Structure 1
Amino acid sequence: MHQSNRRLIESSQGYTLIEALFSITVFVLLSQIMLAVLIWIEQMNTTELSNNQVAWELFVNDLQQLVLNVREIKLSNDTKSMEIFYTNSSGVKKINRSGDVLRLIVNNQGNTPLLVGIQNAWFTWDGQYMTISVIFNNGIEKERRFFVQNST
């Protein structure tokens, strides 16, 4: 028995260079995987922000089309909805918020969602300029001002 213990001690060479290189390689690979995951998470956050930006710009484009040939604009008392009266046969269009959606109602019929995922929205009107302010559910605030030329 003494002989086998002695052989075990003599054959034990400790921590080798190959084991050290293997450990460093594993550490570097795990670091790279962790870095890739962090970059992916950041891209997902950026994508969410860009989705809101795209939705906002599409909404602004739609709203710009709605303020053509306007005869009159009326705001509700709480400035959370707006009615647009037209000079041509377009009738009356109303924009208001229902839940987390800004929607368009044409001649008091139907709903067309214009902007989804909002927390709050306000309209202001000063006779020539209409301003809309929106807060998205994720806290991003957007505001746009439109020139509206009244047709008489």
Structure 2
Amino acid sequence: MYQSKWRIIQSNHGYTLLESLFSFVVFVLLSQVLLLVVFWIKQMDTTFLTREHAQWELFVQDVQSFFINVEEVKISNQSQTLEVFYKNPYESVKLNRSGDVLRQLINNQGNIPLLVGVDHTLFDWDGNFITISVKFQNGMEKERRFFVQTDTK
């Protein structure tokens, strides 16, 4: 029930060894659970989607739109440059790497960055398929194969 403060102060009952052991066990268990949660979140962060994964998927969406109404495809500079010519004779798109940026040139004008943080790029033309391989600066490698319907006259 109610005890006055004076009685609590003069009481010889204090914090016992059993209470301190119980507090220590609870602290250790909670710290272990907290460590597990932190490691799980860190693993999920690296497993699901890194910045490069998101950039790569956006790049793939952009590049897929380049392969519509194509007349001719050229790969030059030891498979480092991809040039797409369209049925309209005044239109072309060129993809090449400058530094760590994979960029797009439209009609050989302007530089539109498509992918940043690129260490190495390789383009391959095989019949109706273009394969784009990219190695990022963090060592991650991505590759995608695109179907291109060209005009065969």
* TM-score interval, smaller chain: 0.7 to 0.9
Partner of 2:40: 39
* Partners of 1:30 and 1:77 in 2: CA distance: 57
Q: CA deviation at 1:129?
A: 1.5
Partner of 1:110: 110
Partner of 1:55: 55
Q: Secondary structure at 2:29's aligned position in 1? A: helix
Normalized against structure 1, the TM-score is what?
A: 0.80
Partner of 2:24: 23
The alignment-based identity, stated in percent, is 44
Is 1:134 paired with 2:109? no
Query: Where does the alignment leave 5 or more consecutive residues of structure 2 unmatched?
Result: 1-11
* Partners of 1:143 and 1:95 in 2: CA distance: 15
Normalized against structure 2, the TM-score is what?
A: 0.79
Query: Where does the alignment leave 5 or more consecutive residues of structure 1 unmatched?
Result: 1-10
* Partners of 1:100 and 1:90 in 2: CA distance: 29
Total equivalences in the alignment: 140
- Following TM superposition, where does structure 1 have runs of at least 4 consecutive aligned residues deviating by more than 3 angstroms? none
Q: CA deviation at 1:112?
A: 1.0
